[in-house]
């Protein structure tokens, strides 16, 4: 079995067994293709011939080509995932990637928006049109439920429970989680759905946010929406959809929510992933203390 065939098999596993999004699978494929090219240029075409020396030289080449430590670490994670898969399938007997040192990346904290900034951003869509109601519902749901873009745009009508005020989000690996919604968000969605029915726009497979042609609303369109709303709200810094998710988590913790609750609402499988938000909260508390305490 050639190394390139192993990559194809691993990507099929991620797509079918792990149910990862096409975007994520494509990213893994690009990273692993670089390893295949590097190995084949050095006469290595079988997975059993991949060793620690080859992987270390590959990591060194990534560094020399200007790849950032964070990106190089992502490349190594892709290789480790594939090697673990190949060992499980008895294609290889030893996993050399375990012995390769992971590049030091530092801990980059997500930067949340202030509550006032988020509220100003959410208030930007004002037009009494289908587009205006849709944009208001999209932004409100994204922040109020802490949704990833893929989760937001993949919502279907049946995922909303208006009586109990809940939304069912399907995250990585199609894992389902329930997130409560405030009345203001439910109202925004109800007004949008009423306008959708009035204009007789129907989405494929019951999609909550279809485009005019009935196809799914695209990631690029939502990124542009967030950028427009941030500019209109007078937010001077770069705002992307994931910052709304970061802000959701941080505002919950600052407001007194416990870490396990925030972990469940974000859909993190490991609480260590959620712990990064406690550092943001501590920083927020320090800044507030310095601004307001007479002895700070």
pLDDT, tens digit (0-9, with 9 covering 90-100), for 42-57:
999 999 999 999 999 9
Domain 115-292 adopts which CATH fold? hpI Integrase; Chain A (1.10.443)
Active site residue 172: yes
Residue ranges for the chain with pLDDT beneath 70: 106-110, 202-204, 212-214, 282, 284-286, 288-289, 291-296
Active site residue 148: yes
Catalytic one among 75, 136, 195, 245? 245
Query: What is the model's pLDDT at position 296?
Result: 43
Please give the CATH architecture assigned to the domain spanning 3-99.
Orthogonal Bundle (1.10)
Query: What is the model's pLDDT at position 101?
Result: 84
Q: Structure pTM?
A: 0.65
Catalytic one among 84, 156, 172, 219? 172
Question: Do the domains 3-99 and 115-292 sit in the same CATH topology, yes or no?
Answer: no
Active site residue 251: no
Catalytic one among 212, 242, 286, 289? 242
Active site residue 80: no
Catalytic one among 134, 243, 251, 268? 268
The two structure tokens encoding residue 238: 């770069």
Active site residue 175: no
Active site residue 242: yes
Catalytic one among 10, 28, 217, 277? 277
Partners of 210 in the beta sheet? Answer: 216
Domain boundary assignment for the chain: 3-99, 115-292
Query: What is the model's pLDDT at position 206?
Result: 82
Catalytic one among 75, 148, 246, 251? 148
């Amino acid at each position: 079995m050639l190394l390139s065939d192993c990559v194809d098999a691993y990507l099929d596993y991620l797509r079918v067994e792990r149910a990862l999004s096409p975007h994520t699978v494509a990213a893994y494929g690009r990273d692993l293709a670089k390893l295949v090219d590097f190995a084949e240029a050095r006469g290595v075409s079988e997975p059993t011939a991949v060793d620690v020396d080859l992987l270390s030289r590959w990591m060194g080449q990534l560094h020399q080509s200007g790849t950032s430590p964070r990106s190089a670490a992502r490349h190594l994670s892709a290789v480790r995932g594939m090697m673990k898969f190949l060992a499980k399938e008895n294609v290889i007997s030893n996993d050399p990637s375990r012995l390769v040192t992971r590049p030091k990346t530092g801990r980059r904290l997500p930067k949340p928006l202030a509550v006032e900034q988020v509220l100003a951003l959410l208030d930007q869509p004002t037009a009494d049109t289908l587009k205006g109601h849709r944009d208001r519902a999209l932004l409100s749901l994204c922040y109020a439920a802490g949704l990833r873009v893929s989760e937001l745009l993949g919502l279907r009508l049946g995922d909303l429970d208006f009586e109990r005020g809940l939304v069912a989000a399907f995250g990585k690996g199609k894992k389902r989680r329930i997130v409560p919604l405030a009345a203001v968000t439910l109202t925004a969605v109800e007004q949008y759905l009423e306008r959708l029915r009035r204009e007789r726009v129907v989405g494929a497979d019951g999609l909550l946010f279809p485009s005019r042609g009935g196809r799914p609303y695209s990631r690029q369109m939502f990124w542009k929406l967030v950028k427009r709303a941030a500019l209109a709200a007078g937010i001077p810094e770069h705002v992307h959809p994931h910052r709304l998710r970061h802000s959701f988590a941080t505002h919950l913790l600052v407001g007194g929510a416990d870490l396990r609750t925030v972990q469940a609402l974000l859909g993190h499988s490991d609480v260590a992933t959620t712990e990064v938000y406690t550092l943001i909260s501590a920083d927020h508390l320090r800044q507030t203390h310095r601004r307001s305490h007479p002895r700070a």
